[in-house]
């Protein structure tokens, strides 16, 4: 299975630049995810790799073989679509055999391959069922099996779980990841679901407006976002525009109106500079009566405006001022310690876990 090299790809549709000067190096056997909001260019980039659209400029290689100049059926790709693309009048086994027949694979070899991929996707015994007799998860398994049967060099998946309910999505993403790891096939996966991307990817490329904003491993994307777009798109974060100032003990703080916020230790800040302070909601803790914040934490006071009890987690919206509101996530909260709308409470966050972005990095 080859690695994939995407070099300077740009794709335009009239005046719209769907993909702008994108370069990526995808390692052999890697599960690589293109993540971003609707219209960011991720599916267009995937279709460029598949050969469904002609690229305007740039090159694509599988290993040392250039493939952007050859037809789709000669590229060695297998594509799993969002809508399954299952033939409704064909049985499970005939759907899977379709690509094999088109490639003139001998009949006895077709039987062996169908049996093999049905085992891989846990669909044994359902060979003769029609699509209308299958669940959504089973239909997706058939779509994957049909692609695997032709033994592609590269697997491409375009939001394959978007039509499934939430519980089934979680189950299927785990199965897809396990299957890909077992086969060792180089995979490009497209999704707009941040949790899905974080849970199954070796690496993630975050896209917006046709541009790659960051490429990194899931935990790096989450904990070390490169700009405010990535910080805001991956998970939840509190973003506060502040002006850099100093306290009496000469530590840097950020001021937003009358409120001061502790900034993480760093040397390249300038007094008066306007920056964005980012604080993940799970890092913010509630102070209960009699408790004090640790020395490295920054305390604040606010009013509870909304509470959402979710069992393992409670979501709070805390208004520090009318303009500044924090999302706070509290886990495994004792019901007796729930706070209620209208209450004034104290919160604190570790300044070393906060992030600072310069304003020119905003989207």
323 burial (CB, 10 Å; 0-12 / 13-18 / 19+) is exposed
Cβ atoms 359, 274 nearer than 8 A: yes
CATH number at residue 53: 3.40.50.300
Query: Which residues share a beta bridge with 315?
Result: 308, 329
Q: Based on the fold, state whether residues 299 and 174 are members of the same structural domain.
A: no
3-state secondary structure at position 137? helix
Strand order across the beta sheet in which 297-309 lies: 285-287, 344-350, 297-309, 313-319, 325-331
Q: Based on the fold, state whether residues 154 and 208 are members of the same structural domain.
A: yes
CATH number at residue 340: 2.40.50.140
Q: Note the pTM of the prediction, 2 decimals.
A: 0.90
What's the domain range around 331? Answer: 238-361
Q: What are phi and psi of 46, to 5 degrees?
A: -60, -40
3-state secondary structure at position 12? strand
- Give the closest residue to 207 by CA, choosing from 189, 219, 186, 223: 189
Q: Based on the fold, state whether residues 229 and 242 are members of the same structural domain.
A: no
Question: Residue 340: CB partners within 8 Å, gap ≥ 6?
Answer: 304, 307
Q: What is the predicted pLDDT for the residue at 248?
A: 64
* Last-in-domain residue among 214, 233, 252: 233
**pLDDT tens digit sequence for 136-148:** 889 999 999 999 9
Q: Based on the fold, state whether residues 221 and 254 are members of the same structural domain.
A: no
Q: Retrieve residue 280's tokens.
A: 């993940």
Q: What are phi and psi of 7, to 5 degrees?
A: -125, 105
The residue ranges of the chain whose pLDDT is under 70 are 1, 247-250, 359-363
Cβ atoms 266, 292 nearer than 8 A: no
Distances (CA, A) of 68 to 40, 53, 88, 316: 21, 10, 32, 50
Q: Based on the fold, state whether residues 211 and 303 are members of the same structural domain.
A: no
Q: Based on the fold, state whether residues 192 and 335 are members of the same structural domain.
A: no
Angle of CA points 59, 63, 65, to nearest 5°: 60
Q: Retrieve residue 295's tokens.
A: 């020395």
């Amino acid at each position: 299975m080859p690695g994939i090299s995407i070099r300077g790809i740009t794709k335009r549709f009239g005046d719209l630049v769907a993909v702008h000067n994108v370069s990526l190096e995808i390692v052999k056997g890697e599960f690589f995810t293109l993540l971003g909001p609707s219209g960011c260019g991720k599916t267009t980039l995937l279709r460029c790799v598949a050969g469904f659209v002609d690229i305007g400029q740039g090159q694509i290689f599988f290993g040392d073989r250039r493939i952007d100049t050859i037809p789709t059926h000669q590229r060695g790709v297998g594509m799993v679509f969002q809508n399954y693309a299952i033939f409704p009048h064909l049985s499970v086994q005939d759907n899977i055999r379709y690509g094999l027949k088109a490639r003139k694979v001998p009949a006895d070899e077709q039987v062996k391959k169908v049996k093999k991929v049905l085992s891989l996707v846990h669909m044994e015994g359902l060979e003769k069922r029609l699509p209308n007799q299958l669940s959504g998860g089973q239909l997706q398994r058939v779509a994957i099996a049909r692609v695997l049967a032709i033994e592609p060099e590269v697997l491409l998946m375009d939001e394959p779980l978007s039509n499934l309910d939430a519980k089934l999505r979680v189950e299927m993403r785990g199965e897809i990841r396990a299957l890909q790891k077992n086969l060792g096939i180089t995979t490009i996966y497209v999704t707009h679901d941040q949790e899905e991307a974080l849970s199954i990817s070796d690496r993630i490329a975050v896209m917006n407006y046709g541009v790659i904003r960051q490429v990194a491993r899931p935990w790096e994307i989450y904990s070390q976002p490169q700009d405010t777009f990535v910080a805001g798109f991956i998970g939840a974060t509190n973003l506060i525009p502040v002006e850099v100032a100093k306290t009496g003990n000469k530590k840097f703080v950020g001021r937003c109106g009358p409120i001061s916020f502790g900034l993480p230790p760093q040397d390249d800040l300038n007094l008066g500079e306007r920056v964005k302070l980012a604080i993940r909601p799970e890092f913010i803790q509630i102070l209960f009566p009699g408790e004090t914040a640790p020395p490295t934490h920054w305390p604040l006071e606010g009013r509870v405006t909304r509470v959402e009890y979710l069992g393992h987690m409670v979501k709070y919206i805390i208004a520090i001022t009318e303009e500044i509101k924090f999302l706070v996530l509290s886990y495994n909260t004792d019901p007796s310690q729930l706070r209620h709308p209208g209450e004034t409470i104290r919160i604190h966050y570790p300044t070393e876990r906060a992030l600072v972005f310069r304003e020119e990095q905003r989207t």
